[in-house]
Structure 1
């Protein structure tokens, strides 16, 4: 590797970087997606990209249900500080094993049904989490998600739409016990926030189109109710 020389000199930095710090690894979930259906990584990254731009400039963002946190860095690049949690120790250990000094962030095991995450946050987001929460535990989950959010903070919840589930694969649907339509998600978030904006998403495209044809939906909320 040290003797490898790229034909165009501007790409030599790639060789030098690999020699200096080695190659970074995908996370558990991302690696499986890359092997089975690579386009799903594009979809997941696009969700993180949307979140990152909505939260740009925030002082301290909390990611709930980070999984392997392979896309977390996209949001981290746009905020001053980021903390990530997941209830599964297997994924948290994977995240820690791949942590790079330049992109280090706080990450630990925490179940939102057990209580709020300690600390103060001006942004909270959860992608692909709410649909795994039993409806009977939904209020407890969201109470804890938003319990330490600053009154001037904002929150983003993203999940597969209820209408999409008829087309979802068995693996995708596994554990999906609480998918929602866009109007239901908006009504739910309006219990907690004065301002709620709904976005639709198909593949990697976020838009304001007809929600019943959306595969994925986002709620962006601000102005927390006391």
Structure 2
């Protein structure tokens, strides 16, 4: 048997860290999810984990539509730096304060009107394109690709249109540009030499039958010369 001191506190480093730095504060979006549908955070983190695995070793990632940047630290475990972009100034200001200890920064802009500043070797955009009007999605793609390197990787994640009948009424109102898997692949092929498509159900990423997937990932590799 292992001998321990009578008053030894187990996991002391965790308590020391908590006492000196306090608890972690989530942003407005994820705080709402925690209060109303906490298991959804499991799905959200799984999506960021997939991105982190795909982008491992990259230097500077663009996160388009970062929201309150809940998953950004997951990507920062494998990528040197992340620039988060969204169009709500109060949210970007809050992100900069909450994530001040991480190697990330934030820009406030409308991606359909302006390209982010920086020279990125990868990018990702989760749960964004379904909110972009179809007639403006080409601007979304062009402005993201504008400052990507030739060998960049770009990951788009979005709900599958075939799962929309199971979505909440609030989601249906906001999701104005859902896609079938072949539509998502075709859009990405306009800008990248190679496109890999993955399915996702709950936290599980797989290569199964696309129409039965709740969520889709498209991974674009190698930006086309005109992209």
SS of aligned partner of 1:24: coil
1:166 and 1:8 mapped to 2: Cα distance?
55
How far residue 88 of structure 1 moved from its aligned partner, in angstroms, is 1.4
- The answer as to whether partners of 2:59 and 2:121 remain within 8 angstroms in 1 is yes
* Corresponding residue number in structure 2 for 1:3: none
1:1-226 → structure 2 map (5 Å cutoff) = 9-101=9-101, 103-226=102-225
| Residue-pair matches, total | 220
Runs of 4+ in 1 over 4 A off after TM superposition: none
SS of aligned partner of 1:113: coil
TM-score, scaled relative to structure 2? 0.93
Q: Deviations over 1:69-127 (max 9, x none)?
A: 011110011111111111112321221231242x1411121211122111110001100
Which ranges of structure 1 fall in alignment gaps of 5 or more residues? 1-6
- The answer as to whether partners of 1:64 and 1:125 remain within 8 angstroms in 2 is yes
- The answer as to whether partners of 1:28 and 1:94 remain within 8 angstroms in 2 is no
1:15 and 1:218 mapped to 2: Cα distance?
38
- The answer as to whether partners of 2:61 and 2:120 remain within 8 angstroms in 1 is yes
Which ranges of structure 2 fall in alignment gaps of 5 or more residues? 1-6
1:8 and 1:199 mapped to 2: Cα distance?
48
RMSD (Å), alpha carbons: 1.5
1:88 and 1:151 mapped to 2: Cα distance?
30
1:172 and 1:157 mapped to 2: Cα distance?
18
1:105 and 1:12 mapped to 2: Cα distance?
29
2:204 and 2:172 mapped to 1: Cα distance?
21
TM-score, scaled relative to structure 1? 0.93
